[in-house]
Structure 1
Amino acid sequence: MKNYQIYLVLTGVMLIWGLNVSVLKILVEHFMPVTITALRIFTAGVCVLLILAISQKIRKPSSQELGYIIVGGLLNVVAHHLFLATGLARTTATNGGLILGLGPLITACFALIFLKRFPTRLQLIGFVLGGIGISFTVLAGNKEIGDINLGDFYVFLSILAQGMSFILIKKASTTLDPRLLTGYMLIIGSFILFLLSIVIEPDGLKTLGGAPAYVWGVFFASAILATALGHYIYNYAIGQTGPAEAAIFLNLSTFFALLGSAVFLGEQFYPSHFAGLILIVSGVVFGSGAMEDLIRKRRRRIKVS
């Protein structure tokens, strides 16, 4: 895929992930959060492996690749989702949103340390613009930031785990298709999450009965579209562009999440959200490398003419 195609696809994934926040709120109102998360991720993993089986892309991983899969599942699935769910339950939405907005910057730092990928000046400008845009978006309608607490620390740990997993996915992509890696990680991670749910939520399985049919429809839509296809595409993009370049798009999901909350849950949407959107989009254009691509194309055209 060409770069601009990857950028468009990633924007679509962020739209789905952002709207999925409203969907998850519906699910946790009917089910225990860790239990339903484990089931949702397992369903997604099965879908990814089915897609790969149809396209004949499934193969047995090597011992080194198996190590990537296990560690990736622990970081990207278990640690990220567990710490995020625990943290958001103990902190304010404002604090959580601002900390989540650090994801692209943390991923860029990890890429610098472990992959020796130095961001360009324009990319650094993009990270800063994206961070400011997230602040505008999350703080809209809030008078102040809540006190820092243990929940904030858990949310920060979830972002650290996710950032590290992006680096691992990039390293593994040299020999293992990131889409196959995604399927294996989702399956292994869901099993570990399920075992944890038995301890954390002993009655979790009992909540699975009695839910309305539309809730299960919402569940499968979330599992297949957001978790399966979303991670399938996003992790492939990491292998194509790099962890930092793909992570900058995560800022868009925050805005789309607020938009979805306003449309589907009736939450208030403020004019300052649009200011945040402009900054976030500017950050994505610079941070993803899209601006540099445009500059290079323009220079080539000038030389040809």
Structure 2
Amino acid sequence: MVYAIMTFNMLIWGLNTVALKILVQYLSPLTMQSLRIILAGVVLFFFLLWRKEWRKPSLHEWRYLIGAILFGVMGHHSCLALGLEHTTATNASLILALLPLSTVVLSILFLKDHITGLRAVGITLGLIGVIFIVLRGSGDLSSHLAGDLWVFGAMMTQAISFIFIKKATDTMDAKQVTSLMFLCGPLGIFTISLFLHPYGLRDFTTAPGWIWVIFLASSVIATGMGHMLYNTSIHRLGPGQSAIFINLTPFFSLVGSVLFLGEQILASQIAGFFLISAGVILGSGAVEERKRPFFQRPFLRPAQASKIEKR
């Protein structure tokens, strides 16, 4: 059941990249992102109230929450929206696929995680994959370079936010952390949009009705429900297995880009996809995780591990 939920969640997130590409063509990117995310935050907030799982964060916890809000919401979603204005959904999905590798690199730098030979090879393959995507097989920089750089910034800011989220979730429920991020972060995005796109709200009055359907689905289903499903499922999987599931997201994005946007997939992008996929599996530790005895895998509680080891 957990595997089925994770696969379905990756499908939702993959198609959400396609949805965002459509939305930024009709709505002001930053205004759209701020309203879309805060709606998801409100849905999560009332869900937690209904479950009686809401509590007031301490001042110590707010230190990490602020970092998660600045990087995980304001930085990530602002860069993603601005990037999708100038690049294809295909390129965006492939660059975002570097997220597990970037998280590994940051964990090595800031959380003192160790690096092995396989991980180093995986990180290198992932970077080569991005080069294939940006050059697009022509030997010249892509005409979508500005958008690609914005999306790369979105990927990096989200990776940085994982460091703060890791610290915040040591003492707080992951669903509450997500809800607070989605409630507070959009306020900053909306403030920025007032300077960059002062008339962004007007776009909502002129957008066709079917855009509202995509907007609500992206907000409530992909962002709100998607993160809730992810947070309730990820603790049951090891880091290696979760990385493999995350790698399904760009695949679904590629399929959605062809079916719904009519985008063409180039040979260099296919090569980049396989390089990044191999890089994620090696660099995230998936191969090493599969080699470890089952009772030593970190997603098991100590009591569970000791019982299995005795057997």
Q: TM-score range by the shorter chain?
A: 0.7 to 0.9
| Contact 1:87–1:153 under 8 Å retained in 2 | yes
Identical positions, percent: 43
Match of 1:175 among 164, 171, 177: 171
Seen in structure 2, the aligned counterparts of structure 1 residues 299 and 277 have a Cα distance that, compared at 3 Å, is: farther
Q: Deviations over 1:20-42 (max 9, x none)?
A: 12211221222111111111001
Cα distance, 1:159 vs. partner?
Answer: 3.2
Greater mean alpha carbon deviation, residues 268-277 or residues 35-44: 268-277
Cα distance, 1:287 vs. partner?
Answer: 3.7
Determine helix, strand or coil for the equivalent of 1:204.
Answer: coil
Q: Any residues of structure 2 matched to 1:95-106 within 5 Å, and which?
A: 100=96, 102-106=98-102
Seen in structure 2, the aligned counterparts of structure 1 residues 79 and 111 have a Cα distance that, compared at 3 Å, is: same
Greater mean alpha carbon deviation, residues 184-193 or residues 148-157: 148-157
Greater mean alpha carbon deviation, residues 276-285 or residues 219-228: 276-285
Match of 2:193 among 180, 188, 197: 197
Cα distance, 1:68 vs. partner?
Answer: 1.9
Pairing 1:83–2:98 present: no
What is the number of residues matched between the two proteins?
Answer: 298
Determine helix, strand or coil for the equivalent of 2:264.
Answer: coil
Cα distance, 1:266 vs. partner?
Answer: 1.5
The aligned amino acid for 1:20 is: N
Between the aligned partners of 1:156 and 1:164, the Cα distance in structure 2 is 12
Determine helix, strand or coil for the equivalent of 2:292.
Answer: helix
Pairing 1:262–2:258 present: yes
1:185 alignment partner in structure 2: 181
Greater mean alpha carbon deviation, residues 13-22 or residues 183-192: 13-22
Q: Deviations over 1:231-288 (max 9, x none)?
A: 3344567777798986776554333322211011122235665555554444444344
| Contact 1:94–1:146 under 8 Å retained in 2 | no
Between the aligned partners of 1:90 and 1:30, the Cα distance in structure 2 is 14
Seen in structure 2, the aligned counterparts of structure 1 residues 241 and 121 have a Cα distance that, compared at 3 Å, is: farther
Between the aligned partners of 2:208 and 2:164, the Cα distance in structure 1 is 39
Cα distance, 1:178 vs. partner?
Answer: 1.6
Q: TM-score, normalised by structure 2?
A: 0.77
Between the aligned partners of 2:272 and 2:248, the Cα distance in structure 1 is 10
1:53 alignment partner in structure 2: 49
| Contact 2:17–2:253 under 8 Å retained in 1 | yes
Match of 1:123 among 98, 119, 126: 119
Seen in structure 2, the aligned counterparts of structure 1 residues 245 and 263 have a Cα distance that, compared at 3 Å, is: same
| Contact 1:94–1:138 under 8 Å retained in 2 | no
Between the aligned partners of 1:167 and 1:244, the Cα distance in structure 2 is 18
Pairing 1:18–2:19 present: no
Greater mean alpha carbon deviation, residues 79-88 or residues 185-194: 79-88
Gaps of 5+ in 2: 297-308
Between the aligned partners of 1:52 and 1:18, the Cα distance in structure 2 is 26
Between the aligned partners of 1:217 and 1:94, the Cα distance in structure 2 is 22
Between the aligned partners of 2:51 and 2:295, the Cα distance in structure 1 is 40
Seen in structure 2, the aligned counterparts of structure 1 residues 283 and 99 have a Cα distance that, compared at 3 Å, is: closer
Determine helix, strand or coil for the equivalent of 2:78.
Answer: helix
Q: Any residues of structure 2 matched to 1:1-305 within 5 Å, and which?
A: 5=2, 9-87=5-83, 89=85, 100=96, 102-133=98-129, 144-146=140-142, 154-234=150-230, 251-270=247-266, 276-297=272-293
Cα distance, 1:198 vs. partner?
Answer: 2.0
Cα distance, 1:136 vs. partner?
Answer: 5.2
Seen in structure 2, the aligned counterparts of structure 1 residues 98 and 284 have a Cα distance that, compared at 3 Å, is: closer
Seen in structure 2, the aligned counterparts of structure 1 residues 132 and 229 have a Cα distance that, compared at 3 Å, is: farther
